Amino acid sequence: MAAPLATRIPEPLRLPRGSVRGTIALIVTATYAYLLLQDKPVPSVLVNSVVVVIAFYFGSRATAGPPVPPAPGQPPTFVVPAPRRTKVVRGLLLIGFLGLAAWFFRTNRPSFGIPAELVAVLEVLGGYASGMTVSWLVHRRAHENMIRKRFATIARDLIAAGALGLAAYICVALATGQVTVFADKVADALSLVVTFYFGSRVIGH
């Protein structure tokens, strides 16, 4: 039987597991706190990114169920929700949001389009789904040989380094009011970076 993927592919940048994710979370949250303390407007996408961080770090660690009575001499075990159920829920949510978007495209007035609140959710879902898709493509055959394993390792490192650099660059620009290469799309860029990387770490732990 093949060993778990995490035992065969090093963590991104050879850092402890979750380091890149945690650093991005700290950068985003610190920028959010800085803008609040400076009494400056907080871009809604920054608030959304903080919500994503909070949801991940609290939600993912609350998935374990109550302990099951252990056998004599054995440590307690926890009931974890079936992955299939999780995928079903994710699929239903995705279908629901895409259905809402299609509804507004079909029935709403062209001058209004999709509500901003729904657009923000779709941006988050899009980044998350993109990250999961790229991660799946990278890892799906990484166990077959050393070449594919090395490719997956390099890809993970590049994605991690890019996410760290872009998150830091965009957050500094938001905090200082600097003009970036993303022009007026800087907020959308931050949303994509955060959701893409968090989505990419769902596969390949």
pLDDT digits (tens, 9 = 90+) for 146-188: 998 899 899 999 999 999 999 998 898 888 888 777 777 787 8
Of the candidates 42, 21, 1, 18, which has an alpha carbon nearest to the alpha carbon of residue 187?
42
Q: State the residue for tokens 């009011």.
A: 177
Mean pLDDT of 127-135: 86
Give the number of other CB atoms < 10 A from CB of residue 143. Answer: 15
Of the candidates 189, 195, 202, 199, which has an alpha carbon nearest to the alpha carbon of residue 83?
202
Q: What is the dihedral of CA 164, 167, 173, 179, to 10 degrees?
A: 100
Distance between CA atoms of 154 and 178, rounded to whole angstroms? 32
What is the reported pTM? 0.66
Q: What is the 3-state secondary structure (H, E, C) of the chain?
A: CCCCHHHCCCCHHHCCCCHHHHHHHHHHHHHHHHHHHCCCCCCHHHHHHHHHHHHHHHHHHHCCCCEECCCCCCCCEECCCCHHHHHHHHHHHHHHHHHHHHHHHHHCCCCCCCCHHHHHHHHHHHHHHHHHHHHHHHHCCCCCCHHHHHHHHHHHHHHHHHHHHHHHHHHHHHHHCCCCCCHHHHHHHHHHHHHHHHHHCCCCC
Tokens of 100: 């809402």
Give residue-wise pLDDT tens across range 178-192: 877 777 778 788 888
Residue 78 has pLDDT above 60, yes or no: no
Give residue-wise pLDDT tens across range 32-74: 899 888 878 888 888 888 888 877 776 444 444 444 455 555 5
Distance between CA atoms of 98 and 38, rounded to whole angstroms? 37
pLDDT given at position 66 = 45
pLDDT given at position 75 = 54
Q: How far lies 198's CA from each of 50, 56, 107, in Å?
A: 12, 8, 34
